[in-house]
Structure formats: structure tokens, C-alpha cells
Chains A and B, each alone.
Chain A
């Protein structure tokens, strides 16, 4: 029996003005994402991948269409209201890691708990560190880590809040092939084990093919094929 979508968007638009020109970063996207599902978004640069992820994750507000997150209509909400919806529901991983350089690995991981006013439970932190394979690096600083390890810290920071949806925007863009493969493996393990939904944007078709579904964006619109190519799975 199909579960209720965690996120559903219909006719999603994100238009903005650049000088006299109107840029249609998203132009009528329909999409649903359910728990335990991994979705890869591919497409050339400027196709709207990041914008789609930002809109679906409540980081950016759509300028048209309907968007429901966790059963709540969010189109038309203010940034402050979107923050409330977003908090604890999403975990984010970005291409450039964006770790706080003066915090240790463990401190970077527990940082979101401070803002969510949740207590730091030691064994939960240890579980996350183990899940991302950084138990032995808990007290190291980001400058002492490799790119792959830094991205693992970012994954740990996303996981500590026990999110329903993991949003990863080009998470392997700064990593070598082997490390990138390991990071995507980690994502998929978490999807299977924790029942998260994964929203992954990437240029790498091989990595994307490991997800349950792939959508391809072009000029802000989804273009066929919308189903995973079986030959690559």
C-alpha cells in the first residue's frame, strides 16, 4: 500500500527577475517523494536542480504551484514559517561541506541540536559518528580531515536531527570517484536502514542510477525519462 508522500509538489514554479529578463528556474514541476525512497535529480548546469531541491526542502519559496511538506501546505508561507516547517524535518548536505572550522567533528555534528533546543545524547552522537565512519575522528578539526571525511561530517550533521528527508545538493562534486561512491553508498544505506527519503542532485549519471528514481531537469522542467533506466540499476 503506497504511503503518504513526505513531499508533494504540483505545478511548482520558481521565477525571478534578472534585469529585464524573467528567469524560469522551475517551470511547472510535479513531484512526490515518499519515505524510504531515493530520488536523483540530474541535468545540465542551470537546469534548475538546486532550485528544485531548495524549493522542495523549504529553503526557497515557490512562486507558483502547490507544495506540501509533511502534510502541510507551505506555498505562500513566510521565511520564518518555512524555517519552522523545515526544522528537524530535513537534513542537508552541500557540495562545499560548510563545516564550522573551529568546531571539532563531534561539535559540528551536534550543532543543529543547539538550534532545535534538543539535548545532546551521548550514545546518539556515537551512533551517528559510527554510521558515518568517523568515531576515531570525533575530536579532530575539519582542517585535519580529507574531503570525503568532511562530507561524512556533513552527513552526520544532517542525520543527528533524525530527519525524514535527506537533501544532498551535489554532495560528491568535490570528491574523487571512489569517495563519491562511498558517500552515495552511505546515503543509500541510511535510506534503507532508517527509512529516510533521499533527494540527491548530481551530474554523475552512474551515481544517480543507484537511486530508486531519476528525474532529469532541463530549463526548469522535468523531461523524460522519469523512471530509472533498468539497464543501469
Chain B
């Protein structure tokens, strides 16, 4: 016989009440863990997604910079373009370590080849890039190897009909090195679609970024087929020294170009975090309410138990229990309730992280490729510890009440 067994058997007297209390604590813990996981994961996902763009600074046509950044992350295209001459001007800046111009366009994919262009169409993202500067900006890009993929390479600078496919684009289209890839595009200023075929010269390894779903073609080829010669979607820049002062200086030098804006991805990161901050605050409020409700549930369950067992506590004191032993017993019962609930809730939250991630991804369509819910052992430990601490806080009053019962009165009241 020990306190643990005694506490457990006391809880087992009212299995339904005990189970409901555990479920309440579990639900509150699951909400808290999921929210905490979202807070951790969302910031990390934004950071990683933006870092994997490879840029520190984006230069683009004036408009909403956050929308532009989100489109970049999601792989969309902007409605506004900046002149290619801006790139020529900016690249002379002495603070620049690397710079790359990018043109993005969306092309339609015929269902089959040119002979069987009858089925339903789909769309693909075409990125026109300068291979050297782009590869320098993203040194982690590697060509896939293996049967059908060996010998992958970047396209020749002015090749009109060569393309490199991202990992998922190639997998989706079932294309290998040497295969042909077809698109149709309605060029700017025209009404009739034009058909284009590209030879795949390389397939990239998976990066976990939007690059995986992109088809890369030479910059001038992309500009030409979309009818946007001399125009860019963005210019990506990394600076030799990236800090707030350098960024402000750099921004000051180039904001003077008409129709051009300079956006730090740190700013974008902050803006995206704050955009979701309101939602996070609301969810946090819901979590706090859930936790308070669970605490009241624990308080109610323990208080009911103490009321029901008034005579029993009197007897326990008569047979030798001290105040602190009764206090400890009631707290131990609460601890078992809260630990069981917190463990179950944490398990549900950890096990259902994928589902939570998918739900959040659908609700907050920010184009983040990284997991938005990050449940760490530390978070789980904090949630379990917090549930136990709050549970014990709720148990203080009932435990003190039980401990303070005078044996004679306790026994007499329920005789």
C-alpha cells in the first residue's frame, strides 16, 4: 500500500467522472500543444521558406510587397513587371554579393503532345532565369541522378528550347532527361495561344521549396514566349553585409528608380508573422478558455470527491493521518488526473499534427512548403508540466479543505 495506489483507487470509485475530467484536461492540453506547435512551426516555416528563396532582398515593381513575397513563396506570378534595365543598374551596387533576375509566368500544359491536344489542360509555373547567377544564389540546387536522370545539366544560356524541371514537376509530368515537355502560352498583347516544346536537359533534386514544382527556362526565352521582352518579375539580391543599416542604405540608393521597390525579406518575414499573429492571438484566447474550463473541471471533480468523502477523511485522520498527508493525497489524485489527461492530450496533438498542419494550410494559404506545426519534446514537456501545475493550483482549495476537516465533525456530519 502506498499513496499512489490509494489515490488511484480513490479515483477509480467514480470512473465516469474521472474519465470526463481526464478528457477535459486532455482536450485543453491538445489545444495548447497544437497552438504551441503552430507558433513554433509557423515562424520556423516562414524563416526556412524565405531562406530557401535564396534572396535577402527582392526588387520588384511597386505594389504590395507582402503579396509579392507570398506569390513568390506560393509560386504565383505578379501582375506588375519592372524593366530589365533596373537590373543592369542595380547590379553595379558595390554592396551586392549576388544578384539574379527572374521572370515568372504561368503556362498551360496540353493534356498530351502536339498530336493529342484534346484532353483537359493544367497549368505550370515557368521561371525564366540566368543560370549562373541563379545557381550561385541557390548553391544547394543539385541535379537528380539515376536511370533516366544521369547527365543532368543547366540549359545553354540562349537555348530556345531547353528546360530544367523541378523534382515534383518532373515526377508529376513523368519526364526524364531527354524527354520533351509541351506548353501553350498566350503572349502579352495577343489573343491566340502559341505552342512550345522544350527538351528536358536536367531534373533537380527535391529542395522542399517552390522550385520543386517549377520548370526553368532561359530568362530571354521566357520573356519572349510570354511577350514580355525586357521585363522582369523580380530581381533577387544578397548583400555582402546584411543588417538594418546596410539594408536602409541599399534601399535609399535604389528606391529612386521609378516604379521599383526594394523589399527586405526580413520585413516580409515579420509581416507574414504579424499577419497570422491576430489569428494566433484568437486561437490562444480559445486555448486559455479551454484551459480555464479544464481547470474548473478539475476543481469541480476534486471538490465533489472531497465533499463525498468528508466522513472518510475524518476516519483517515482518526486512524493517524496528518493534515499534510491528507493534503498530499488529494493533490496526488489531482496530479494523476492531470498527468493522464495531459499525456493523452499531448499524444493526440502529436499524432494529429499532420491533420492540424493540413487544416491550417487550407485556412492560411501562405504557400509555405515547410511544416507549419512543429511539436517538440520540449513543447510536450512544457504542456504536461503546465497541465499538472494548473491542476495542482486548482486542487489547492479542495485539498486544503480536506486537510482542515476536524475528524469529529467530519464523521458526525455523514453519520
Spell out A's residues near B (CB within 8 Å).
54, 59-60, 79-80, 83-84, 86-88, 91-92, 94-96, 98, 100-103, 107, 110-116, 120, 157-158, 161
Contacts and interface: CB of A to CB of B under 8 A. Distances in A.
B346 to A, nearest CB: 28
Contacts of A107: 1, 5
B9 to A, nearest CB: 4
A115 B320 contact: yes
A23 to B, nearest CB: 13
Contacts of B13: 101-102
Nearest to B10: A102
Given A59-B408, A98-B312, A114 B2 contact: yes
- Most chain A C-beta atoms within 10 Å of own C-beta, residue among B5, B316, B411: B411
B411 A83 contact: no
B177 to A, nearest CB: 72
B9 A86 contact: no
A220 B312 CA distance: 27
B1 A83 contact: no
Interface in B154-205: none
B405 to A, nearest CB: 10
Interface of B: 1-3, 5-6, 9-10, 12-13, 311-312, 315-323, 325, 406-408, 411, 415
6 contacts: A54-B408, A59-B318, A83-B317, A83-B322, A103-B1, A161-B319
Contacts of B411: 94, 98
B415 A96 contact: yes
- Can you list the 5 inter-chain pairs with the closest CB atoms, starting with the nearest? A102-B9, A115-B320, A115-B321, A112-B319, A98-B315
A100 B322 CA distance: 18
A111 B325 CA distance: 12
Contacts of B12: 102
A60 B317 CA distance: 12
Given A59-B407, A114-B2, A103 B315 contact: no
Nearest to B321: A115
B408 A115 contact: no
Contacts of B319: 91-92, 111-112, 115, 157-158, 161
Contacts of A161: 319-320
In terms of DSSP, what is the predominant structure of the interface of chain B?
A: helix
Interface centre among A95, A100, A101, A103 (most CB of B within 10 A): A100
A35 to B, nearest CB: 20
B315 A86 contact: no
A100 B1 contact: no
A79 B409 CA distance: 12
B309 to A, nearest CB: 9
Contact of B325 (A59, A98, A115): A115
Given A86-B320, A100-B6, A115-B316, 10 more contacts: A80-B323, A83-B322, A94-B411, A96-B311, A102-B10, A103-B1, A111-B316, A114-B2, A114-B3, A114-B6
Contact of B320 (A60, A79, A103, A112): A112
Contacts of A54: 408
A11 to B, nearest CB: 20
A102 B12 CA distance: 8
A79 B311 contact: no
Nearest to B325: A115
Contact of B408 (A60, A80, A100, A112): A60
A124 to B, nearest CB: 13
A103 B322 CA distance: 20
Contacts of A111: 1, 6, 316, 319
Contacts of B315: 92, 94, 98
A158 B1 CA distance: 17
A88 B320 contact: yes
Contact of B311 (A59, A98, A103): A98
Contact of A103 (B3, B9, B325): B9
A91 B319 CA distance: 7
A83, A87, A95, A120 pick with most chain B CB within 10 angstroms: A83
Given A79-B406, A103-B9, A92 B318 contact: yes
A166 to B, nearest CB: 12
Nearest to A95: B415
Contacts of B2: 114
